[in-house]
Chain A
Amino acid sequence: MAWLSDNAFLLGLATLDGLSSAAAIFMVAVGLNLVFGVLRVLNVAHGSLYAIGAYSAASLGLFAAARGLPAWASLPLLVVAAALVGLVLGPPIERLLRRTQDQEPVLQLLVTFALFMILEDAQKLIWGVRPVVSDAPVKLMGTVDVPIGGDVIPFNAYQLFLLPGVALLTLAALVYGLRRTLFGRMLVAVTTDREAARALGIDAARITLVTFTIGAALAALGGALASPTTSLVPGIGAQTIVLSFAVVATAGLGQVEGAALTSLLIGLGRSFAVYLEPELEVVVPYLIMVAVLLVRPQGMFGVLETRRI
């Protein structure tokens, strides 16, 4: 207990940081999950969409600031950037992946890997290798004093409210959309059995296209929202795809609420590592994943698929 009270300040800070990073990871992981459901391929290039969303949002923000747009405009611009990235990059990537759908699963995976390599260098060519910083939205929202133990931490309101808020909103919208709307029900049908869904007259190709675009936009939104809190450097795409894969695998494929809880677990685990044992930061998500998969191979919330013989 003495250790706890001694480190209360650090732990509090780690918790706050973990919450906001979990929010960004969730946005990416849940999109990855949706796309896997309809296309049956783990899109490695999904991490690049996060990175491109982040870079685009930063560029748009800096551009708007240079043109003298009011500071409050920086917030909606994040969403605009994400939507643009999703709409511009989503459909062509989906088309390419659908083209290779008849090939072996290994080759499909490699196609997304190839896309990832191409997009990774495209980022370097467009935005260069020097860190890009655009923190107008964070400054705009100011800080909030969070009391922890005897101390008070001034933490920025953006990371405290906006990031987790948008993530919760996304979660609620997805849960409602998947269970209560016609499109959502059709999406679930296509995910469960594409052939049967098509036999029922569902336009599986359209569902796949829309779902992929939504997934791409969510990843870009995750990046756009996270962009004001860090400086953007090459390699964030790779880091993100590995993290969000860890979330999806730990939660179990096809789980939305599960992905949210796991994002929280991994986000917090990572930020605690940053504050307590920085050497372990990169390793923690993997350790959580391996530990969970050792006990439950189908993931924490995954349903065991019965073997069809």
Chain B
Amino acid sequence: MSGARTLAAGLAAALLVVALAWAVPWLRFVLTVATAKGIAVLGILLLLRAGQVSFGHAMYLAIAAYTAAFLAPRIPDAALLLPVAVGLSAAVGLVVGLFVMRYRDIFFGMLNLALSMVFYSLLEKLYSITHGTDGIRLPPLTFAGATLSVEAQSWAVLLSALVLALVAGAAVRVYWSSPLGEALAGIKTREQRLDFLGVPPRLVLLAAYVISAALAGIGGFILAMATRQVTPALAYWTTSGELVFIAVLGGAGSVFGAFLGAAAYELTRVYAAAFVADAWQMILGSVLLLVILFAPGGIWGIGQRLLGRRAAGPGAAATAGEGGP
């Protein structure tokens, strides 16, 4: 798809979300959470493009969320608080990134897991600062100086989430087609080739890592605004696993897939939590297994294949005709 058409499709999707949230009020919260997670999943997609998977990105989600909770009394405006929270996520991402950049594959994934678990334990154990598992309540924020009612506030959170999602999605697509983004794929196929080209693979991966930390931070900030309560569970490994799961479910390698996957995941969770609370992880695991074994392109890949078949039908026939004797 060309840039303009993709942007139009993105805007249409955002409008559809607004319409759904307006028509079915209980969906508003679910869709806000899905959008937030979709943005965080974009970061996972960047790393997946380099063939790396992080089982610890929930840490960056939690850093931004806790920053929001701590600073909300001092900086009560969302527009001012967002850059601070996301900036902190990115800064921690830079420091951690300098360390984990030296590792690949399993080591990369598990070191991220290890660091996020250390952070989780700190959040849980330092009761005097973080209130442990009780978490911290986030006071209502103002939006561009305006104090809003509860109803208007939830709309403001959803709308800002959608705007951020559009911006982040567009930025990720631009980044992907930039030399820095193309080099990411080189890490996956063969890193030494980048060295030969004079491109330092560690810096390429570091850039992607910092961006992915910032994207997780944006997601975490929106989650904090939507739930108005931050708890250590945000940093737990299951949250990180969730992000990776959504990335694979939606279809690694596509911006739309990330949000589609997040929406499918959150909607299923609403129903699964009500009917099969004990077997929830089992269902997730089975779906993940089935997607990897039978539909490596995820939901987006399936959709594309269905659409592609229809579009490719007459076109393919025409080329075959031209190629004939």
Q: Is the pair A246, B114 in contact by a Cβ cutoff of 8 Å?
A: yes
User: What's the dominant secondary structure at chain B's contact region?
Assistant: helix
B10 to chain A, nearest CB (A): 27
Chain B residues, Cβ within 8 Å of A279: 121, 125-126
Chain B residues, Cβ within 8 Å of A249: 107, 110-111
Q: Is the pair A117, B114 in contact by a Cβ cutoff of 8 Å?
A: no
Give the interface segment out of B67-75, B255-263, B276-284, B301-309. B276-284
Question: A-B pairs with CB below 8 Å: how many?
Answer: 109
A106 to chain B, nearest CB (A): 5
Number of B residues, CB within 8 Å of A: 42
Q: Is A118 an interface position by the 8 A CB rule?
A: yes
B5 to chain A, nearest CB (A): 30
How far is A245 from B56 in the complex, measured between Cα atoms in Å? 15
B28 to chain A, nearest CB (A): 29
Chain A residues, Cβ within 8 Å of B64: none
Partner of A111, one of B99, B106, B117, B289: B289
Of residues 278 through 297 on chain B, the ones whose CB sits less than 8 Å from some CB of chain A are 278-282, 284-286, 288-289, 292-293, 296
Q: Is A297 an interface position by the 8 A CB rule?
A: yes
Point out which of B106, B109, B125 has the most chain A C-beta atoms below 10 A from its C-beta: B106
Q: Is the pair A242, B114 in contact by a Cβ cutoff of 8 Å?
A: yes
Chain A residues, Cβ within 8 Å of B106: 42, 105, 109
Partner of B292, one of A110, A118, A307: A110
- Given the contacts A106-B51, A118-B282, A309 and B192 also touching, CB distance less than 8 Å: yes
The interface of chain B, by Cβ under 8 A from chain A, is 48, 51-53, 55, 99, 102-103, 105-107, 109-111, 113-115, 117-118, 121-122, 125-126, 188, 192, 237, 241, 244, 248, 278-282, 284-286, 288-289, 292-293, 296
23 inter-chain pairs at a CB distance below 8 angstroms, sorted by A residue, are A100-B293, A105-B51, A106-B48, A109-B53, A109-B106, A109-B109, A115-B285, A116-B285, A117-B284, A118-B286, A121-B278, A121-B285, A124-B278, A242-B114, A246-B114, A279-B121, A282-B118, A286-B115, A286-B118, A289-B111, A289-B114, A293-B103, A294-B99
The interface of chain A, by Cβ under 8 A from chain B, is 42, 99-100, 103-107, 109-111, 113-118, 120-122, 124-125, 238, 242, 245-246, 249, 279, 282-283, 286-287, 289-290, 293-294, 297, 307, 309
